[in-house]
């Protein structure tokens, strides 16, 4: 009897797929931008349909503001450059700025997607080459980096087309350069992060993020100081000197980073051969940087990643073990429930450098940016403004209120409060199952936020003292009002996050950077600041109330708002902890 | 100890019934195994008991305390270990256990005594001051178990508790469960490992497609499953029979 013919599937599992890049890239893109989650929420379940509208509004207004600013800066460069017969220098500058942004911001994004992302636990065991994972992750970051390139290069191109020359070929060239522009800087920052992560001990990697962030802040402050040390009236002449004088920006940049010059040539060179040659050079270098990144990724990515977070532990002898146990037991002691929540919040926040940088850096940078011109600038206009601020009367009072508003602004723009719940991520189940009253949970979280408020208030107070030299009573009044309103802003941020926590993130970067609550919080804060500002104006200027009573009334209003916000927050917390599904 | 009455939970606005009119009774002093194929509704049921999900209808009481009406009091009676222990990676093991001790209000002396025993049992003494992110999966599982047992809850609820535990820890853990039941407490756990359920449980419930298929001691289940002897066979017999009945009903 003839046996039935057996059909067998080809052994596909034993061979690596032709290219795993596209599947991994698609999944990574989907995961990073929440495409499926968004489609499911908005199209299938039809929930929170206002969110996409809000995102569009927020992103749209930001893009519009940046574009307008970029257009004016580009216009100034084109006009200044035209006087030297080099209007295209605006493109060199735009490319340089966008590529610097891509390099610095890309460094953190690449680190976050390559080494701190939880989907690696799924990807690494799959039969995919490490270089493919690196390439797919790189592609994902590249997509988000195009936003920066478009924000900087777009307004420059529009300004150039209006002032100098446009046409289809011009726009085609701009598009080609925009596509290639972020590849080299992002590949370089990827190579840097791959190399660093290969040789830095995993336990010190958080520290690396801090050091890198501090360097970036240092660079920003250096440029800020350099620009502000020039009186505003002399700024055009200063720019002119940079453009025409010894610095010769184009040449200087060209020597340091030729792709920016090649990009400029592709867009604006009158010679077709130069345009084609520059495009070929830009494409070749981009390809080379991409290849270098893949080559290095293929060799060192797993070396830097594998081994996980687990650490080898030395075997202790009996005496050492006993001593270690005794020391451990000494640390076991009872504390209050609110204290336990506070300590947990503090530790989970302070041990993630990204949270610390997002939470505290704006509170230091913004006051520093105010302080530098006050102490370093020789601009007579600024000196006159300072003496006005330091004078008596209504201006001095409103200056004090302005500084109080700055405290509130800084407390609100950092994402600490509006990610209070979101930061717990997938560990949120613990908060749901432990027997803690929602009110106690809110108290513990608010206590932590109150401590962070000190960090946003203290630098402003110092700058206030140095810049405005207020009398003691006004200083105390403004500080108390600023602190009280900051606490209210933080409570409102906590409320926003309780109402709509984002818990499904895969790396801490997403918890903070991809959290719509930050945008909502800005709107809430704007309403709060405008409301309090109008109240102060109405009381002091319209009704003629003296400074002291105006401040007392403001504090009363803040108190009332605080009580209302507290009740709303506790009610929302009861819903979150006791009724909502997780 | 745990009483579940007519519990239902559906997803996608009622399209998918995860748990359908489930009624269960877990007496004090018993280890209760909760079995079912993937997607049967085990984890959904457990999540409703511990307060992670809110039922659409039905009631849950723990030692007479209504989980929905008195959630805080009910949580004090429950210790819970999820299927995958997502613990705070940036806390040390000790900080996590102190957090649990604080929120359950465990006094220092009692906490030290209980921790001393549990850490000795699971061999975590010398790693307790390391960050949880440096722990292996098994160590995290052990820490989650210690955190759940530390408050000495009347009802211990475990979702796939043996995953990640080494053989020695599994044996110790089974002993621990038995000891707790001997003290008049109860253990309610879901598992896929039928072998473990057969050897450890005093009583077993089988759930399929959100509905209770069978509930009883091993002897009672054997009788119901037409003489099948092993739990594996009983499980297959009962779940397949239930699916057949459902198909006929359609």
Reported as a single tens digit per residue, the pLDDT across A530-567 is 999 999 999 998 998 998 899 999 999 999 999 999 99
Q: Decide if A324 is inside a domain.
A: no
Whole-angstrom Cα distance, residue B166 to residue B159? Answer: 17
- Asked whether residue A256 falls in the same domain as residue A110, the answer is yes
Name the CA radius of gyration of chain B, rounded: 18
DSSP, collapsed to helix, strand or coil, labels residue A185 as helix
CB contact under 8 A, A427 and B95: no
- Asked whether residue A492 falls in the same domain as residue A422, the answer is yes
Give the distance from CA A295 to its chain's centroid: 30
| Helix residue ranges per DSSP H, A390-500 | 394-413, 428-433, 438-468, 472-499
- Whether A54 has a pLDDT exceeding 90, the answer reads no
Give just the sign of the alpha carbon dihedral A16, A22, A27, A29: positive
Among residues A77, A79, A220, A227, the alpha carbon closest in space to that of A153 is found at A77
Higher pLDDT residue, B53 or A380? B53
Mean pLDDT of chain B: 87
The nearest CA of chain A is from the CA of B122 a distance in Å of 14
Calculate the alpha carbon distances from A488 to A97, A339, A481, A515, A523 in Å. 38, 21, 11, 21, 14
Taking the Cβ of residue B148 and every Cβ of chain A, the question of whether any pair is shorter than 8 Å is answered with no
Contacts of B128 in chain A (CB under 8 A): 328
- Asked whether residue A287 falls in the same domain as residue A359, the answer is no
- Asked whether residue A528 falls in the same domain as residue A570, the answer is yes
Angle at A388 between CA A384 and CA A389, to 5 degrees: 120
Contacts of B99 in chain A (CB under 8 A): 340, 343-344
Q: Decide if A319 is inside a domain.
A: no
What contacts A76, CB < 8 A, 6 or more positions away? A236, A239
> How many C-beta neighbours within 10 Å does residue A570 have?
19
Q: Decide if A83 is inside a domain.
A: yes
The nearest CA of chain B is from the CA of A432 a distance in Å of 6
Name the residue range of residue A424's domain: 337-579
- Whether A15 has a pLDDT exceeding 60, the answer reads no
Question: A interface toward B at CB cutoff 8 Å?
Answer: 45, 203, 309-311, 313, 316, 321, 324-325, 327-329, 331-337, 339-341, 343-344, 347-348, 351-352, 426-427, 429-430, 432-437, 578-582
Among residues A532, A450, A455, the alpha carbon closest in space to that of A493 is found at A450
Question: What number is the average pLDDT over the span A245-249?
Answer: 48
Q: Are A71 and A155 in contact (CB under 8 A)?
A: yes
Calculate the alpha carbon distances from A5 to A2, A8, A9, A10, A12 in Å. 9, 10, 13, 15, 21
Q: Search chain A and give the residue with CA nearest B135.
A: A310
Edge-to-edge strands of the sheet including B186-190? B78-81, B155-159, B186-190, B31-35, B203-208, B211-216
The nearest CA of chain A is from the CA of B102 a distance in Å of 6
Helix-helix angle A89-115:A130-163, to 10 degrees: 160
Taking the Cβ of residue B103 and every Cβ of chain A, the question of whether any pair is shorter than 8 Å is answered with yes
Among residues B194, B203, B199, B200, the alpha carbon closest in space to that of B237 is found at B194
- Asked whether residue A232 falls in the same domain as residue A104, the answer is yes
> How many C-beta neighbours within 10 Å does residue A10 have?
7
- Asked whether residue A353 falls in the same domain as residue A299, the answer is no
CB contact under 8 A, B80 and A433: yes
ipTM of the complex: 0.90
What contacts A488, CB < 8 A, 6 or more positions away? A408, A528, A558, A561, A562, A565
pLDDT value of position B194: 76
Contacts of B52 in chain A (CB under 8 A): 429, 432-433, 581-582
CB contact under 8 A, B104 and A434: yes
- Asked whether residue A209 falls in the same domain as residue A348, the answer is no
Q: Are A378 and A231 in contact (CB under 8 A)?
A: yes
Q: Decide if A411 is inside a domain.
A: yes
What contacts B35, CB < 8 A, 6 or more positions away? B42, B190, B191, B192, B194, B197, B204, B205, B206, B207, B231, B235
Calculate the alpha carbon distances from A429 to A448, A540, B55, B123 in Å. 20, 49, 17, 26
Taking the Cβ of residue B136 and every Cβ of chain A, the question of whether any pair is shorter than 8 Å is answered with yes
CB contact under 8 A, A433 and B105: no
In the structure encoding, which two tokens stand for residue A450, read together?
């109150």
Percent helix, strand and coil across chain B, each rounded to 5? 45, 25, 30
- Among all chains, which residue has been given the structure tokens 């981009």? A286
Chain B 31-60, CB below 8 Å of chain A: which residues? Answer: 47, 50-54
CB contact under 8 A, B102 and A310: no
B2-86+155-249 CATH choice from 3.40.640.10, 3.40.1780.10, 3.40.50.300, 3.60.21.10? 3.40.50.300
**Which of A157-166, B25-34, B187-196 has the least mean pLDDT?**
B187-196
Q: Decide if A351 is inside a domain.
A: yes
Q: Search chain A and give the residue with CA nearest B13.
A: A45
Higher pLDDT residue, A495 or A411? A495
Q: Are B203 and B215 in contact (CB under 8 A)?
A: yes
Higher pLDDT residue, A267 or A564? A564
pLDDT value of position A10: 54
- Whether B172 has a pLDDT exceeding 50, the answer reads yes
The nearest CA of chain A is from the CA of B97 a distance in Å of 9
Calculate the alpha carbon distances from B164 to A328, B83, B84, B135, B160 in Å. 25, 10, 9, 12, 10
Calculate the alpha carbon distances from B34 to A550, B86, B200 in Å. 65, 22, 12
Percent of chain A having pLDDT more than 70? 83
Name the CA radius of gyration of chain A, rounded: 28
The nearest CA of chain A is from the CA of B234 a distance in Å of 33
- Whether A166 has a pLDDT exceeding 90, the answer reads no
Contacts of A343 in chain B (CB under 8 A): 95, 99
Q: Where are the beta strands (DSSP E) in chain B?
A: 2-11, 16-26, 31-35, 57-62, 65-66, 78-81, 155-159, 186-190, 203-208, 211-216
CB contact under 8 A, B52 and A432: yes
Calculate the alpha carbon distances from A332 to A337, B95, B97, B101, B140 in Å. 15, 9, 9, 9, 19
| Helix residue ranges per DSSP H, A164-271 | 168-180, 183-199, 205-228, 235-244, 249-256, 258-268
Q: Which of B87, B106, B134 sits opposite A311 (nearest CB)?
A: B134
Q: Which pTM value belongs to this model?
A: 0.77
pLDDT band of A312, cuts 50, 70, 90: low
The nearest CA of chain A is from the CA of B215 a distance in Å of 27
Question: What number is the average pLDDT over the span A223-244?
Answer: 59
- Asked whether residue A221 falls in the same domain as residue A344, the answer is no
CB contact under 8 A, B86 and A435: no
The nearest CA of chain A is from the CA of B219 a distance in Å of 35
Q: Where are the beta strands (DSSP E) in B72-226?
A: 78-81, 155-159, 186-190, 203-208, 211-216
> Mutate which of B8, B16, B47, B71 to test chain A, going by most A C-beta atoms within 10 A?
B71
Contacts of B132 in chain A (CB under 8 A): none
Please give the tally of structural domains in chain A: 2
- Among all chains, which residue has been given the structure tokens 């609550």? A517
pLDDT value of position A311: 53
- Asked whether residue A244 falls in the same domain as residue A350, the answer is no
Chain B 114-133, CB below 8 Å of chain A: which residues? Answer: 115-116, 119, 125-131, 133
pLDDT value of position A1: 43
Mean pLDDT of chain A: 82
**Which of A11-15, A489-493, B207-211 has the least mean pLDDT?**
A11-15
Among residues B57, B54, B63, the alpha carbon closest in space to that of B25 is found at B63
Taking the Cβ of residue B135 and every Cβ of chain A, the question of whether any pair is shorter than 8 Å is answered with yes
pLDDT tens readout for residues B79-96: 999 988 899 999 999 999
Contacts of A580 in chain B (CB under 8 A): 54
Residue B70 DSSP class: S
Q: Decide if A366 is inside a domain.
A: yes
CB contact under 8 A, A334 and B101: yes
Angle at A491 between CA A490 and CA A495, to 5 degrees: 115
Count of CB pairs separated by less than 8 Å, A with B: 122
- Asked whether residue A235 falls in the same domain as residue A115, the answer is yes
Whole-angstrom Cα distance, residue A274 to residue A266? Answer: 7
Contacts of A430 in chain B (CB under 8 A): 87-88
- Whether B191 has a pLDDT exceeding 50, the answer reads yes
Angle at A397 between CA A393 and CA A401, to 5 degrees: 165
CB contact under 8 A, A435 and B72: yes
Q: Which of B52, B88, B107 sits opposite A582 (nearest CB)?
A: B52
Q: What is the DSSP string of A499-549?
A: HS-----SSHHHHHHT-THHHHHHHHHHHHHHHHHHHHHIIIIIS---HHH
Residue B15 DSSP class: T
**Kind and range of the H or E element at A8?**
none
CB contact under 8 A, B51 and A433: yes
Whole-angstrom Cα distance, residue A53 to residue A34? Answer: 16
In the structure encoding, which two tokens stand for residue A84, read together?
């030297």
Q: Are A261 and A92 in contact (CB under 8 A)?
A: yes
Q: Decide if A18 is inside a domain.
A: no
Higher pLDDT residue, A565 or A108? A565
pLDDT value of position B239: 75
Residue A372, class by beta-carbon neighbours within 10 Å (0-12 exposed, 13-18 middle, 19+ buried)? Answer: middle
Whole-angstrom Cα distance, residue A116 to residue A512? Answer: 14
pLDDT tens readout for residues A339-373: 999 999 999 999 888 888 788 877 888 888 777 76
- Asked whether residue A380 falls in the same domain as residue A491, the answer is yes
């Amino acid at each position: 009897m003839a046996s039935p013919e057996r059909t067998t599937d080809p052994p596909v599992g034993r061979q690596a797929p032709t290219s795993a890049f596209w599947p991994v890239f698609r999944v990574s893109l989907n995961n990073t931008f929440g495409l499926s989650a968004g489609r499911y929420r908005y199209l299938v379940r039809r929930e929170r349909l206002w969110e996409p509208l809000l995102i569009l509004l927020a992103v749209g207004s930001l893009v519009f503001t940046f574009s307008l600013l970029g257009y004016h800066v580009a216009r100034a460069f084109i006009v200044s450059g035209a006087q030297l017969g080099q209007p295209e220098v605006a493109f060199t500058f735009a490319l340089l700025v966008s590529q610097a942004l891509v390099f610095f911001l890309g460094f953190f994004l690449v680190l976050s997607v390559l080494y701190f992302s939880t989907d690696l636990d799924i990807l690494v065991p799959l039969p995919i080459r490490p270089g493919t994972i690196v390439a797919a992750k790189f592609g994902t970051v590249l997509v988000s980096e195009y936003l920066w390139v478009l924000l900087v290069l777009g307004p420059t191109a529009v300004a150039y087309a209006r002032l100098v020359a446009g046409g289809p070929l011009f726009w085609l060239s701009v598009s080609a350069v925009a596509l290639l522009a972020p590849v080299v800087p992002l590949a370089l920052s990827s190579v840097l992060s791959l190399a660093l992560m290969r040789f830095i001990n995993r336990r010190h990697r958080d520290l690396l993020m801090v050091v890198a962030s501090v360097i970036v802040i240092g660079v920003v402050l250096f440029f800020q100081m350099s620009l502000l040390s020039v009186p505003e009236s002399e700024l055009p002449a200063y720019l002119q000197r940079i453009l025409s004088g010894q610095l010769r920006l184009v040449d200087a940049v060209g020597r340091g980073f030729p792709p920016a010059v090649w990009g400029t040539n592709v867009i604006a060179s009158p010679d077709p051969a130069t345009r084609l040659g520059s495009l070929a050079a830009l494409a070749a270098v981009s390809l080379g940087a991409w290849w270098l990144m893949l080559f290095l990724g293929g060799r060192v990515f797993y070396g830097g990643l594998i081994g996980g977070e687990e650490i080898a532990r030395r075997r202790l002898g009996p005496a050492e073990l006993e001593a270690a146990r005794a020391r451990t037991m000494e640390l076991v002691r009872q504390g209050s429930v609110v204290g336990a929540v506070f300590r947990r919040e503090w530790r989970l926040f302070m041990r993630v450098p990204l949270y610390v940088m997002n939470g505290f850096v704006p509170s230091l940078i913004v006051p520093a940016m105010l302080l530098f011109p006050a102490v370093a600038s020789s601009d007579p206009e600024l000196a006159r403004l300072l003496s006005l601020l330091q004078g008596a009367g209504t201006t001095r009072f409103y200056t004090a209120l302005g500084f109080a508003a700055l405290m509130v602004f800084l407390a609100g723009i950092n994402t600490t409060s509006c990610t209070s719940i979101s930061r717990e991520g997938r560990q949120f189940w613990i908060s749901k199952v432990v027997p803690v009253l929602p009110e106690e949970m809110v108290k513990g979280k608010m206590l932590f936020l109150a401590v962070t408020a000190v960090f946003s208030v203290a630098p402003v107070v110092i700058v206030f003292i140095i810049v405005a030299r207020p009398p003691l009573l006004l200083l105390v009044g403004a500080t108390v009002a600023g602190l009280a309103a900051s606490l209210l802003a933080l409570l409102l941020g906590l409320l926003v996050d309780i109402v709509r926590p984002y818990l499904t993130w895969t790396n801490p970067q997403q918890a903070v950077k991809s959290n719509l609550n930050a945008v909502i919080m800005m709107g809430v804060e704007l309403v709060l600041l405008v409301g309090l500002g109008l109240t102060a104006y109405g009381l002091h200027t319209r009704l003629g109330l003296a400074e002291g009573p105006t401040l007392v009334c403001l504090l009363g209003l803040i108190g009332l708002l605080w009580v209302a916000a507290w009740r709303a927050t506790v009610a929302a917390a009861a819903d979150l902890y006791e009724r909502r599904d997780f | 100890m745990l009483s579940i009455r007519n519990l239902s939970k559906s997803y996608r606005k009622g399209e998918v019934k995860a748990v359908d009119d489930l009624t269960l009774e877990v007496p004090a002093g018993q280890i209760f195994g909760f079995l079912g194929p993937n997607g049967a509704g085990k984890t959904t049921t457990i999540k409703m008991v511990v307060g992670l999900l809110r039922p659409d209808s039905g009631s849950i009481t723990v030692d007479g305390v209504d989980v929905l009406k008195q959630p805080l009091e009910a949580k004090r009676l429950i210790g819970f270990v999820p299927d995958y222990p997502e613990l705070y990676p940036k806390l040390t093991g000790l900080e996590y256990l102190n957090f649990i001790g604080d929120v359950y209000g465990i006094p220092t002396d009692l906490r030290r005594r209980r921790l001393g025993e549990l850490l000795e049992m699971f061999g975590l003494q010398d790693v307790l001051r390391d960050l949880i992110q440096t722990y292996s999966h098994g160590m995290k599982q052990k820490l989650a178990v210690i955190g759940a047992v530390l408050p000495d809850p009347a009802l211990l609820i475990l979702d796939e508790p043996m995953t990640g535990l080494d053989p020695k820890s599994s044996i110790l853990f089974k002993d621990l469960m038995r000891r707790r039941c001997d003290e008049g407490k109860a253990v309610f756990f879901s598992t896929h490992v039928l072998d473990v359920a057969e050897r450890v449980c005093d009583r077993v419930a089988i759930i399929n497609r959100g509905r209770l298929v069978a509930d009883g001691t091993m002897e009672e289940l054997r009788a119901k499953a037409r003489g099948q002897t092993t739990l594996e066979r009983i499980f297959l017999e009962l779940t397949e029979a239930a699916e057949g009945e459902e198909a006929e009903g359609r």
